[in-house]
Every structure is written in structure tokens, then in C-alpha cells.
Structure 1
Amino acid sequence: MKIHDTLITIAFASFLCSCESVQSLEGLVVDVHNVSLDSVLISDDLMNFRMRTDSLGRFRYMIMLPTTSRGIDTKFSFSKKGFIDHSQTIKVYRSTKVIVVMDKDTPE
């Protein structure tokens, strides 16, 4: 009976995995002079997930969606001290690549 339960569990897990696929977004955050920005805080409105860019301004976002999905619109917010906060809706497909340009905050 124990082996039978284990086989059913494995079969069910395999079925679940085969019905989903990984959607990914790889990006680069730069300023208007094409200089990479590190430590930019990035958050999404879908899962309230937060991350930061690495020292080269890169970030990666991944989500599991049904295989029938044709991507998902996700609103991302980008924030860094000294720069104007930026929000953008991006359609995340299986392998999406973006470059985000942030403007410097001008003192009043």
C-alpha cells in the first residue's frame, strides 16, 4: 500500500509540473547616459516580490504559469535614491528581455 501511494503522489506531481511552464523576465536598468544602475529596488504587483539589481544593473524575475498562458501583464516599480521612481507594465513571456531607463531626480 505504501508503494502504491508513493506512485500516485509522483504521478500527480509530474502531472502538475507538466501543466505549468516557467515565464522569465531578464532586465537591465540604466540611466539616460546608458550607465548601469546597481541596487535599484524592483517590486511587482502580482506577487509583491521584491529584488535588487546586481552590481551590473541586471535583474531576473521568474514565475510559473499554465502552459496555455500567453504571458502575463505585470506592473513593476523601480526605485533608487537620486532617481525618479518609475513604474511600467511588462508582458512576461517564456523569455522576455527588457532595458529600463531611469531619469535623475532634479532638485527643485
Structure 2
Amino acid sequence: MLGFVEAWQTLVDEVEAGYGGDLYEYEAELLVREDLERAMVSSELASVDGWASIGAQILVADSQFRELLGPVVREGSPWWKARVPARAGAEFAADVQRIYGVTIEASDE
């Protein structure tokens, strides 16, 4: 499970730096958060030693990620998929504009 938490934190860090991949890569990387959500609501994992600490790490990364998000592009989706980063690389920003008709800040990679 720690590998999933590390993957999530890595994505959060990449978004904070101005995500350099395209929209499709980003959406594939978001799948780790779906796995973490299933784990977080699992009654079986709630009783595992150290799970509270892992859950706390996920919540810290979640909080950091929420601050980096911009406009809603997918109503009704989980919070991590409903919005896109407010700032990203030029390719990502172009994908968001083309697919969703939304303008986000393009970073200077």
C-alpha cells in the first residue's frame, strides 16, 4: 500500500511543479487515487496496524492536491477527477482547452 501512497504523493508533487505530461497520462496516473479511495473505505484495512498513519499521509497529499486544482471539467466525478490542475505544462493545457474548452495556466516547463 505504501507504493500507492508514494505514487499519489509523486503525482501531487508533479502537479505542484506544473505537470509536464499530457491529459491522457495524467488521467492514467489518477487511477492510483481510485485505488487509495477503495482502501480508505475498506473496513478490513481499518483494523490493520499502521493504517491510521497511512490514511493520514493520504489525507495530507489530498489536501495539497485540492489546493492545486482549477476548474471543474467533469461534473459528478470524484473530487480528484472532477477538476483539472490550475497550472500545467503547455501540452496538458492545450489538451484541456481542446477537450474541455477550459483555459488553464501553461507553465514554463
Q: TM-score range by the shorter chain?
A: under 0.3
1 or 2, which has the higher helix percentage?
2
Per the normalisation by structure 1, the TM-score is 0.26
